[in-house]
Amino acid sequence: MEAHVLSDAHLVKQAGRFVWLSVDAEKEANAAFLEKFPVNGYPTFLFLDPEGETPLLRWAGSAGVKQFERLLDDALVARAAASGDGPEAALARADRAEAAGKGEEALAGYREALAQGGPGWARRPRAVESLVVALTAADGREQDCAGAALAEAATLPAGSSRASALANGLSCALGAEGEPGWRAPAIAKLEPLVREAARYPGLLADDRAWILQVLADAREQAGDARGARRGYQALWDFVAAEGKRTRSAELRASLDSFRVAAALKLEKPQLAIGPLRASEKALPDDYNPPHRLAVLYREAKRYPEALAAADRALSRAYGPRKLRVFDVKASVLERQGDQAGLAAALAEAVAHGEALPEAQRRSAGKLLERMRSRLAKARGEG
């Protein structure tokens, strides 16, 4: 997002209409901000009214330039018109509620806005996308999420909002626990629609990669091994082609998580090692490339290289996510049968986790707890 959209000349022209704040969620200095304005994932764009520090709109994930420009307009509408009548005001109230973490109020607001706006409303694609994304984030609403995608997104014109809402709906259905009766029919209806959406022109590369991954996951969950393999191969082919096409190291690296996922699902970790080494060379301060290389080398059973990559990542990592790097290092040492090294790595990880500010420690809670228990076991105390 930062690598392309946020440097677009059209957006730069709008600089004076807002104050722009970048918050690295891993930094200790931002723990209090995130305690006050929690987000569900990264990146998230949050629009705030400075008077009363009121959240106006929250947007999870990336957006294209035109879409982001419309979000800027929507934030200004949410600031000015939330008390009025009509679908725009209803959308503004829903956006405010969603940004403030009032999930049920937001869902009712999006539905009200859609009902008032009717089928020809210009803001309908964005309102549908926001409704489905809000349902994705709500606990236990997988059926509603898949249902909204089918009922609302399937009526939208081809484009990024339709693609995003349909893929989120399919992702909700795939994530539903157990085998509820609605799940298989919903997947059967959504999967071909998402497959078609994956081919829409103009999607952002990371959105298209995510949609391809959801489609491959759907085949895997259906027990269709050949279909899943074709799906992950399609994901790999796409990110490989994007890697050759783009000149920006940041843009190339923004697809690295998909490169790793596809290579591992294809059981060919070596496929992604070259591109990840290129990312590490181009972005020497970023801990992610060596972190991901440690996983790839581990899966390729190249343990000394995995440990060296993990140590390079640890020297650059900070905040709660550093624990994930320790986790990879510990898994390599475990596979090597190095009990003393494992105990030392886990002790260092637990010390790092316990020194985090409380809000960050909470966000790393489960992983930190698991590491404490593994440390006790490695020391023969468990």
Partner 1 sequence: MHPLALALLVAAAPAAGKLPFVHDDYPRALAEARARQVPIVVDVWTPW
- For partner 1, which is the closer residue by CB, 15 or 340? 15
Q: Is 59 helix (H, G, I), strand (E, B) or coil?
A: strand
Asked if 27 is part of the footprint of partner 1 (rule: CB under 8 A), the reply reads: yes
- For partner 1, which is the closer residue by CB, 49 or 338? 49
- Run of H or E residues at 45: strand 44-49
Choose the stretch contacting partner 1; rule: CB under 8 A; options: 47-55, 146-154, 217-225, 236-244: 47-55
**Token pair recorded at residue 229:** 């393999």
Asked if 50 is part of the footprint of partner 1 (rule: CB under 8 A), the reply reads: yes
Q: Kindly state the smallest distance separating residue 19's Cβ from partner 1, in Å.
A: 4
- For partner 1, which is the closer residue by CB, 57 or 342? 57
**Distance between CA 378 and CA 286 in Å, rounded?**
30
Asked if 46 is part of the footprint of partner 1 (rule: CB under 8 A), the reply reads: yes
Choose the stretch contacting partner 1; rule: CB under 8 A; options: 25-33, 88-96, 152-160, 302-310: 25-33
- For partner 1, which is the closer residue by CB, 67 or 254? 254
- For partner 1, which is the closer residue by CB, 72 or 249? 72
Asked if 45 is part of the footprint of partner 1 (rule: CB under 8 A), the reply reads: yes
Asked if 35 is part of the footprint of partner 1 (rule: CB under 8 A), the reply reads: no
Asked if 21 is part of the footprint of partner 1 (rule: CB under 8 A), the reply reads: yes
Which member of 121, 232, 258, 287 binds partner 1 (CB under 8 A)?
A: 287
Q: Kindly state the smallest distance separating residue 316's Cβ from partner 1, in Å.
A: 9
Asked if 17 is part of the footprint of partner 1 (rule: CB under 8 A), the reply reads: yes
- Residue 294's closest CA among 274, 282, 311? 311
Asked if 15 is part of the footprint of partner 1 (rule: CB under 8 A), the reply reads: yes
Which member of 3, 37, 70, 305 binds partner 1 (CB under 8 A)?
A: 37
Number of other CB atoms surrounding residue 256 within 10 Å = 24
Q: Are the C-beta atoms of 255 and 242 separated by less than 8 Å?
A: yes
**Token pair recorded at residue 73:** 């307009």
Which member of 6, 138, 271, 344 binds partner 1 (CB under 8 A)?
A: 6
Asked if 52 is part of the footprint of partner 1 (rule: CB under 8 A), the reply reads: no
Q: Kindly state the smallest distance separating residue 18's Cβ from partner 1, in Å.
A: 5
Q: Are the C-beta atoms of 238 and 208 separated by less than 8 Å?
A: yes
Which residues is 57 bridged to in the sheet?
Answer: 47
Q: Kindly state the smallest distance separating residue 32's Cβ from partner 1, in Å.
A: 8
Residue 324: partners with Cβ closer than 8 Å, 6 or more residues away: 291, 367
Residue 49 phi, psi (nearest 5):
-85, 120
- Omega of the bond leading into 119 within 30 degrees of 0 (cis): no
Number of other CB atoms surrounding residue 129 within 10 Å = 28
Residue 249: partners with Cβ closer than 8 Å, 6 or more residues away: 278, 279, 282, 283
Residue 212: partners with Cβ closer than 8 Å, 6 or more residues away: 198, 231, 234, 235, 238, 258
- HSE value, Cβ hemisphere, 13 Å, CA-based, for 88: 13
Choose the stretch contacting partner 1; rule: CB under 8 A; options: 19-27, 143-151, 294-302, 365-373: 19-27
- For partner 1, which is the closer residue by CB, 34 or 264? 34
Interacting residue ranges for partner 1, rule: CB under 8 A: 1-2, 6-7, 9, 11-12, 15-27, 29-30, 32-34, 37, 39, 42-51, 53, 56, 72, 75-76, 79, 254, 257, 286-288, 321
